Amino acid sequence: MQTTLPAVPTPDDAALWHGGRLYLADQRLLPDRAEFLALDDAPGVAEAIRAMVVRGAPAIGVAAAYGVVLAARTAYRAAGPAWHDAITPDLDLLAQARPTAVNLAWAVRRMAGLIARLDAADPEPALLAEALSIHAEDRAANRRMGDLGAGLITGPTDVITHCNAGAIATGGYGTALGVIRSAYAVGKVRRVYADETRPWMQGARLTAWELMDSGIPVTLQADGAAASLMAGGGVGWVIVGSDRIAANGDVANKIGTYGLAILARYHGVKVMVAAPTSTVDMDLSCGGDIPIEERDPEELLSCGGRRLAPAGCAARNPVFDVTPAALVDAIVTERGVVLAPTLEKMRALMG
Ligand code: MRU
């Protein structure tokens, strides 16, 4: 728990519980403005997740866990000892805020498991302790994945990353950016090429901001520039995070990751997916079963408030795609590394 609230959010302090409220760095404003948004109730947290105030699979799980704490407070104030029934609508609201990242449902399910074991007394202290644990465990998992992922890289090499899988997309340190941080620290990464990541520009706005803040050399490139960069040589790895990994090792991640993995295979570049086991969904046999979020086409038709396409132009805006396991060289989790993932290997990992 945070005793003092920093004046502005930093990459590693983008979600904080302070004074009974949840503070989230408003990621829609970064890097121009680093500002916290304070949240007091679960519907507010659900809306913050939907509207991309907080984004990135593990980070929305952490935010939802704190959202359950706020839901419990509301339910206990309204219903007293009958709070168990009163909390259910808020749990559903949180779990359904976005569909693809399974960390969200995972976190709400874990909090609901504790709720089922609690008695009629005020649930907030116990639920807050659990939310803080989820947050701390995610940070620790990222550190572990950083070490494991860095161990796979024989450098020095350049790497490409897509979207933002950094500290602000997680409980801290980052998944893909955690691996990059750890590998850079031991001289294995020379430079990071960050895809800008249309249409939300997570690469341009967030990954570039985080890596520059950490003093790690970063060069921004248009999403379509990855092929010619790989053809030129020097790039050893594509390193990305994930929103959901199916039982057979198929990986959902930000739209464009699939294309990047195809390019990587063609050019002999390896693909590493760094994600905690809270991202693995053993209930789904393959990536085709992963629900892919479709967002408002307006996100594509305009940029920074300026309309790009002619009025009336149709647009499709799936914001994730699925990379088949066959194109993934390594899945790195806090429990260990799975090389060339298959159903059997994923089962062995998950136990
Ligand atoms: O739509 P977003 O910004 O939530 O998408 C995020 C991603 O695709 C990340 O790569 C993924 O969540 C891994 S974050 C550690």
For residues 345 and 351, what is the distance between their CA atoms, to the nearest angstrom?
Answer: 10
Active site residue 243: yes
For residues 122 and 69, what is the distance between their CA atoms, to the nearest angstrom?
Answer: 11
How would you classify residue 172: left for phi > 0, otherwise alpha for psi between -120 and 50, otherwise beta? left
Whole-structure pTM value: 0.97
Task: Give the pLDDT confidence of 86-101 residue by residue, as tens digits.
Answer: 999 999 999 999 999 9
Res 87: pLDDT: 98
Task: Give the pLDDT confidence of 1-49 residue by residue, as tens digits.
Answer: 556 888 899 898 899 999 999 999 999 999 999 999 999 999 999 999 9
Q: Are strands 15-18 and 302-303 parallel, antiparallel or unpaired?
A: unpaired
Query: 57-79 and 102-117 are packed helices; what angle lies between their axes, rounded to 10 degrees?
Result: 30
* Active-site pick, 195, 243, 250, 281: 243
CATH no. of 15-141: 1.20.120.420
Res 337: pLDDT: 98
**What is the amino acid identity at position 240?**
V
Predicted confidence (pLDDT) at residue 155 exceeds the cutoff of 90 = no
101 touches ligand 1 (CB under 6 Å): yes
179 touches ligand 1 (CB under 6 Å): no
Task: Give the pLDDT confidence of 160-206 residue by residue, as tens digits.
Answer: 999 999 999 999 999 999 999 999 999 999 999 999 999 999 999 99
Res 3: pLDDT: 66
**Which ligand 1 atom sits nearest the alpha carbon of residue 166?**
15
Q: Which two tokens stand for residue 259?
A: 């294309």
Res 1: pLDDT: 59
Res 101: pLDDT: 97
Asked, colleague to colleague, whether 15-141 and 143-350 share their fold, the answer is no
What mean pLDDT value characterizes the chain? 97
**Which ligand 1 atom sits nearest the alpha carbon of residue 101?**
12
Instruction: List residues bridging with 24 in a β-sheet.
Output: 15, 37
Q: Which of 281, 299, 293 is nearest to 320 (CA)?
A: 293
For residues 205 and 244, what is the distance between their CA atoms, to the nearest angstrom?
Answer: 23
Locate the domains of the chain by residue range. 15-141, 143-350
CA of 340 to the centre of ligand 1 (A): 22
Place 240 in a pLDDT band, splitting at 50, 70 and 90: very high
**Is 103 marked within a binding site?**
no
Res 230: pLDDT: 98
Res 61: pLDDT: 98
Q: Which of 103, 109, 152 is nearest to 253 (CA)?
A: 103
Predicted confidence (pLDDT) at residue 267 exceeds the cutoff of 90 = yes
Task: Give the pLDDT confidence of 119-148 residue by residue, as tens digits.
Answer: 999 999 999 999 999 999 999 999 999 999
Place 291 in a pLDDT band, splitting at 50, 70 and 90: very high
Phi, psi angle pair for 17, to nearest 5°: -100, 120
**What is the amino acid identity at position 269?**
V
CA of 28 to the centre of ligand 1 (A): 14
Instruction: List residues bridging with 21 in a β-sheet.
Output: 18
CATH no. of 143-350: 3.40.50.10470
Place 118 in a pLDDT band, splitting at 50, 70 and 90: very high
Predicted confidence (pLDDT) at residue 308 exceeds the cutoff of 80 = yes
Q: Collapsing DSSP states into helix, strand and coil, what is residue 48?
A: helix
Place 305 in a pLDDT band, splitting at 50, 70 and 90: confident
**Is 57 marked within a binding site?**
yes
